[in-house]
Amino acid sequence: MTDRTLQFTLREWWQQVSSPKAVVAVAGAGLVLGLSGPFNTYETMEPVSRVLYWVLVAIVTFGVGLLNARLIAEHTPARNLGVLPAYAVAGVVGGIPIFIVVELINLIGNVGQTETWDSLGVSLAYCTAINFCICMLVAWFGTGEQQEQQDLRDEEAPRLLKRLPIELRGQISHLSMQDHYVEVVTERGSKLVLMRLADAISETEPVSGVQVHRSHWVALDAVAKTRRERERYVVEMKNGAIVPISRSCLPAARNAGLIPAA
C-alpha cells in the first residue's frame, strides 16, 4: 500500500464516519443499547451513565471497525478473494481491535471489568460476531452504492481515466511520453498506457491543461509553481514531480499563466 492510497483510504473513511447520517445512525444504535442495557449493564449502571457508555462504545467501535474493514478488505491480499469474502476476513480479523477497544473503555471507565479468561473469550467472540455482521452489511449494501457513485464519476470524468485501473482514477496531474507509451500520473499513482501523447491529451477534457514540452502535458490545477533553472523554466507539480518547459512551448505556457509575460 502506497502513501497515496493510504491517504485516500483515510480520507474516504473520515467522510464515511463523520457524515451526519452515520453519526445519527450509530448514536441512535448506542441510545437503544443504553436504554436496553445488554450484558448486565442495565443492573450495574445508572441510566445516564449507561446511555453515555453505549453511545461511546457504538461510535468508537464503528469508527475502528470500519477503518479495519477498509484496510483489510481493500489493501491486503484478502482483496483478491472478492468483495464478500474479503470483508468476511475483515470481519473476523477486525474483531480483535474491536475487542481491545471495548476492553480499554471498560478499564478506563471501570465498567464490568473482565476477570477470567473465559469471560475474555466470550467478550472476544461477541465483538467478532458483531463486527462480522457489520462488515457483511457494509460489503452487501456499501459496494452497490460505491459502484453507483463510481459510475456517476466515470460519466463526468475525462475519458483518459477509463483506461486506468479504478484505484488509480483521480485528479490528473500530468502526462509524459515514454517511447510508445504515455505515463498518466494522477493523485493516486501512475500507469503507462499504449497510445500517442496527442490522443491522450485529447482525452483529458474537461481538465484544463497545457502542453509544455513535446513529451509533457500538465494539468493547471496540479501545478504548484514554475521556476527558472539556468536557461530554462520547469514546472513543479503538487506531487513533487518536475516537468521541463521547452522553448517552443513557452508561448503556450505564458498564455496559460505558468510564466509571467515578458
CATH of the domain at 226: 2.40.50.1020
Q: Is 208 strand, coil or helix?
A: coil
Given a contact cutoff of 8 angstroms between Cβ atoms, the answer to whether 128 and 93 are in contact is no
Check whether the bond before 77 is cis (ω within 30° of 0): no
- Is the same domain home to 176 and 145? no
pLDDT tens, residue by residue, 177-227: 998 899 999 988 899 999 999 999 999 998 999 999 999 999 999 999 999
Mean pLDDT for all residues in the chain = 84
Q: Is 30 strand, coil or helix?
A: helix
What is the structure's pLDDT at 1? 47
- Is the same domain home to 149 and 178? no
Give residue 209's domain range. 162-255
- Is the same domain home to 92 and 24? yes
Count of domains in the chain?
A: 2
The reply to whether 33 falls in a domain is: yes
Range in 8-17, 88-97, 215-224 with the lowest mean pLDDT: 8-17
Nearest Cα residue to 84 out of 141, 126, 149: 141
Last residue of a domain, one of 154, 176, 209: 154
* Cα–Cα distance measured from residue 72 to residue 16, given in angstroms and rounded to the nearest whole number: 17
Per-residue DSSP letters for 76-129? SGGGGG-HHHHHHHHHHHTHHHHHHHHHHHHHHHT-S---SHHHHHHHHHHHHH
- Is the same domain home to 47 and 171? no
Q: What is the value of pTM for the model shown? A: 0.53
Q: How confident is the model at residue 236 (pLDDT cuts 50, 70, 90)?
A: very high
What is the structure's pLDDT at 224? 93
Last residue of a domain, one of 132, 154, 176: 154
The reply to whether 261 falls in a domain is: no
Question: Which helix (DSSP H) or strand (DSSP E) does residue 132 occupy?
Answer: helix 117-137
Last residue of a domain, one of 131, 154, 177: 154
The reply to whether 260 falls in a domain is: no
What is the structure's pLDDT at 247? 92
What is the structure's pLDDT at 174? 96
Task: Tell the burial category of 108 from Cβ atoms under 10 Å away from its Cβ (0-12, 13-18, 19+).
Answer: exposed
Nearest Cα residue to 4 out of 175, 191, 134: 191
- Is the same domain home to 224 and 122? no
Most confident residue range from 35-39, 79-83, 250-254? 250-254
Grid coordinates in use for 75?
Answer: 489493501
- Pairing verdict, β 242-245 and 223-229: unpaired
Nearest Cα residue to 244 out of 255, 254, 229: 229
- Is the same domain home to 54 and 110? yes
- Is the same domain home to 45 and 123? yes
pLDDT of 154 over the 70 cut: no
Which one is predicted more confidently, 73 or 170? 170
- Bridge partners, residue 192, by sequence: 183
Range in 2-11, 25-34, 208-217 with the lowest mean pLDDT: 2-11
